[in-house]
Structure 1
Amino acid sequence: MAADTRTCRLLVAGEWQDGCDSSSVLDKYRQAPWALAQLPSREQVALAVTGAEGAFRASTLDAYARGAILDRAAAIIERRSDELVAVMRAEAGFTGHDAANEIRRGAITLRLSAEEARRFSGELVPMEGAPGQAGRIGFTLRVPLGVVCAITPFNAPLNTVAHKVGPALAAGNAVILKPSLHTPVTACILAEALLEAGLPPGLLSVLHGGAQVAQWLLEERAVRFYAFTGSTEAGRAIQQRAGLRRTQMELGSIAHCVVCDDADLDAALPKIVNAGYRKAGQVCTSVQVLLVHTAIAAEVERRLTDMVESLPYGDPSDASTVVGPVISEASAQRIERWIDEAMAAGARRLAGGERRGAVVPPTLLADVDPATSLGCQEVFGPVMCIVPFDRLEDAIDRVNSTPYGLATGVFTNRLDDAIRAARRLEVGGVHINETSSSRVDLMPYGGSKDSGFGREGPHYAIREMSEERMVTLLA
């Protein structure tokens, strides 16, 4: 390990601490050690939860103060943007453009959370509308749950963290954050920003680690809510262990995009390429299956081949790079195997090439057998498959046949087709003339079926992370 390697410590009960062990964080392009994450002991996990519960009960922050802290944290994140770009380029493999977008959106999410803190309230209940209730007044209060545990992924190491931590703090909770071991430094910078902004230290803990640390956190009964983004398999295990405690799950997906025969291809295709290959395809809503009407399939295939072949890929420090490395060489090897498997089953590779370390060239395939891994599992890499369809109903059935249901894009100028798709698609979000990857941070975001439940977006998440208390007064 180099002498100047950055060490990412634990934030436990208001203090930055070393752990009982450590784990190397690799530069994702160079595949060399870049940082060191401290790992907690079982006792430190328990101390973090105990400290968070105590800090929650002792907190005197009102809604205005919570909002002000979140606003200041957003400004600090923006001030540290150059540092964050460099960090995410190394630990996440992000290009400069992807990192800058992550910072912009993370700051927006914190500010949206600040707005929600200031207007967090219940509602009046018309008690006198019931017989025999004359003179009785009723209203609800929204109250925090207590300790919220946020378990976050590598592919949005700032904004997804902000989507969990921001609303939780806005509601008045304390937060235990367990970021991905692939990207711990970005999460620590966000924690530093919140502390600098005036957050009482005990209200936020940061614990690095893998499945073992998540398991320990699930054993802590003082945790009232688990917010998780990750694989369906891991989410199912967390849900089973959480029992009656509340959860929000944003899980796996096979994202589809539907291109109808009347679509404006000049507008649609650049959006589809961006949605398929930004962040090296490592987004739950990255277009994996592109369903194209047979009348325009040949044209779409030809135009997309040229566009994907022209995407620069490789070193994320190169300003021209669009597609950087995936999160690990092991992930790249798996993606490569899936491509080879699809081609052995008859798929045609329209664009792509040989893997180099953790870099998988942006790949476009046609004639992919739906029984192969690429046809029925989430690839989480820079791979898109073109699949023709004859009728819109066939495309809808193809989307609905998967166990997942996160988001789908539909390109059409026919209003009746758009509404029919919106009503029939079994997904959490339907985006007309946008891709499956379209997301604005103030909207409700989440899935159905094996893609999870609950909604992100500060206005919605703050309600997930609180509870309604009924109050009545007899005058």
Structure 2
Amino acid sequence: MNTIREAGCLVAGEWLTDGTYADRVGPYLRQTVSRARIAQDDDIATAVAYARRAARAVARLAPATRAGILERAAALVTERGEELAGLLALELGKPLKDGRGEILRVADTLSVAAAEARMIGGEVLPVAGWGRGVGNTAITQRAPAGPVLAITPFNAPANLLAHKLAASFAAGNTTVVKPPPQAPAVSTALVKLLLDAGMPVEAVQILHGGGDVGARLCAAPEIAVVSFTGGVTAGHAVAHAAGPKRVMLELGGNAATIVCEDADVAEAARVCARTGYSNSGQSCISVQRVYVQRSRFEEFADALTAEVKSLVVGDPLDPRTDVGSMVDDDAAERVVQWTAEAAGQGARVTTGGTREGAVMAPTVVVAPPTEARVVREEVFGALVAVLPYDHFDGVLEECNRSTYGLQAGLFTHDLRRVVTAWRELEVGGLVVNGSSNFRLDHVPFGGVKDSGIGRESPRWMIEDFTVTKTLLLRGLTIWGDQ
């Protein structure tokens, strides 16, 4: 019998469990796996007022203190990794393979944030280099920006919460977390773990609910910074609701990978198969479009199809499973419909195209028209489209036709092509001899165009979560004053 995990709201230092609850039905188990207590209007008002009061207490913690807490949290994540990975499997249908990988990344992210907390500083400005500055000294510091709102998505709810909450705390801020309705239990478990590691209760609150809760939090004047990861439409709503405050948006992608004629086609196919269907393709950098030089096109399509057919599909709690379920039936049905639409436009579906409930069969669509939705829009599902190209300059232009620009992959041994692609592709990151779906959590990550604003990774997020404060000492100089 499955135990239902209850996720309360943490507001002003107290766990609230009474009130209205929303059930989360596991997309693979097809039964309730968790239950979240929904934040009410009074909770939101209390939370933002408390965040404003708590901000000063958190800011007074020394960077070494913050770092020590984050390091202890990283150790606890490692100890409790199986529990957290199991929650990801239950709430999202994410295979244990993927869930364990995400939890390893959570531990890394917390450790990196701890290291970055120790590096926060400032600089002495060269004010005496200009006449009016002679006789004075100016020093800067990076100071906490104020209460941060972290809105996290369902596809990587643990690691993206770790990025936002750890970087905010490392910077000396208090954080209000609004997790995804699809993953309340794992989000709450991670917050509790951080509290167990010594994070003061003033540093974090968690409020469950839908877009209405997020919108009210965004609009609250007590919130200084909003960090949102999710879809484009929701991102636009967040920016509108937030108004004139600092907003970071990571809004998804339509990632392209290019396979040149000099590439190891078998290896490229293997990598694209493993990274195009992890988490059922529900990743903003998941392999979606693969452009293959025409002389190797059929070879690659055959190799990719064979690799995809070898993936193990099924129970996310089975350690052997490569592909579990998508977030819900509607998401899987959308991919089925887009596949059929591409086939009707002349594409070949070499495997997949069907679903059982929320489990989408890994799908390969070969040679769809360039205006098909599987090419132009974000699939965010277990589907990879394979298209031929003739000239390298032309394929770069085709990649850039997308309204997204998050990350791209390139398989080649030609350094000139690497440099040209890095210069010309309208993306935030390029992975060479790997697919688009590769990320290191201590490396800046983010996009251009509809893929959002800002960069994720503790060092760069700390910059967004702090402000520069200047100290100007009149009549006191460390420089010559003649």
Q: TM-score, normalised by structure 1?
A: 0.98
1:253-272 map, 5 Å: 253-272=253-272
Helix, strand or coil at the partner of 2:149: strand
Aligned to 1:445: 445
For residues 4 and 260 of structure 1, what CA distance do their matches in structure 2 show? Answer: 50
Moved more, 452-461 or 315-324: 315-324
Aligned to 1:392: 392
Displacement after TM superposition at 1:369 (Å): 2.0
1:83-162 map, 5 Å: 83-162=83-162
Q: TM-score, normalised by structure 2?
A: 0.96
Aligned to 2:230: 230
Aligned to 1:163: 163
Aligned to 2:479: none
Number of residue pairs matched? 474
Q: Is the 8 A contact 2:70 2:197 kept in 1?
A: yes
Deviations 1:89-142 (A, max 9, x none): 101211111111011000100111111111111122111111232232222110
Aligned to 1:20: 19
Letter in 1 for 2:56: R
Displacement after TM superposition at 1:370 (Å): 2.5
Deviations 1:258-287 (A, max 9, x none): 011111224322221122011110000001
Helix, strand or coil at the partner of 2:473: strand
Aligned to 2:200: 200
For residues 19 and 232 of structure 1, what CA distance do their matches in structure 2 show? Answer: 34
Q: Is the 8 A contact 1:28 1:328 kept in 2?
A: yes
Aligned to 2:480: none
Displacement after TM superposition at 1:176 (Å): 0.3
Q: Is the 8 A contact 1:19 1:39 kept in 2?
A: no
Moved more, 85-94 or 455-464: 85-94
Aligned to 1:370: 370
Aligned to 1:464: 464
Helix, strand or coil at the partner of 1:295: helix
Moved more, 448-457 or 30-39: 30-39
1:52 aligns with 2:73: no
Displacement after TM superposition at 1:252 (Å): 2.2
Letter in 2 for 1:62: A
Q: RMSD across aligned C-alpha pairs, in angstroms? A: 1.3
Helix, strand or coil at the partner of 2:358: coil
For residues 21 and 373 of structure 1, what CA distance do their matches in structure 2 show? Answer: 39
Q: Is the 8 A contact 1:14 1:203 kept in 2?
A: no
For residues 323 and 19 of structure 1, what CA distance do their matches in structure 2 show? Answer: 37
Moved more, 262-271 or 227-236: 262-271
Moved more, 234-243 or 107-116: 234-243
Moved more, 91-100 or 173-182: 91-100
Displacement after TM superposition at 1:3 (Å): 8.8
Letter in 1 for 2:355: R
**Unpaired segments of 5 or more residues in structure 1?**
none
Q: 4+ residue stretches of structure 1 with deviation over 6 A?
A: none
Q: Is the 8 A contact 1:256 1:409 kept in 2?
A: yes
Displacement after TM superposition at 1:229 (Å): 0.4
Moved more, 379-388 or 315-324: 315-324
Aligned to 1:41: 40
Letter in 2 for 1:58: A
For residues 31 and 221 of structure 2, what CA distance do their matches in structure 1 show? Answer: 39
Deviations 1:188-245 (A, max 9, x none): 1111111111111121000111111011112311001110000011101111222210
Letter in 2 for 1:111: S
Aligned to 1:402: 402
Aligned to 1:7: 6
Q: Is the 8 A contact 1:259 1:411 kept in 2?
A: yes
Displacement after TM superposition at 1:354 (Å): 2.4
Q: Is the 8 A contact 1:147 1:174 kept in 2?
A: yes
Q: 1:292 to 1:19 in 2, by over 3 A?
A: farther
For residues 148 and 399 of structure 1, what CA distance do their matches in structure 2 show? Answer: 35
**Unpaired segments of 5 or more residues in structure 2?**
477-482
Aligned to 1:180: 180
Moved more, 127-136 or 332-341: 127-136
For residues 331 and 209 of structure 1, what CA distance do their matches in structure 2 show? Answer: 20
Aligned to 1:68: 68
Letter in 1 for 2:359: V
Helix, strand or coil at the partner of 1:116: helix
Moved more, 116-125 or 440-449: 116-125
Deviations 1:38-78 (A, max 9, x none): 10101101111111211112333111111111111111111
Deviations 1:160-212 (A, max 9, x none): 11111110000000000011110111111111111111111121000111111
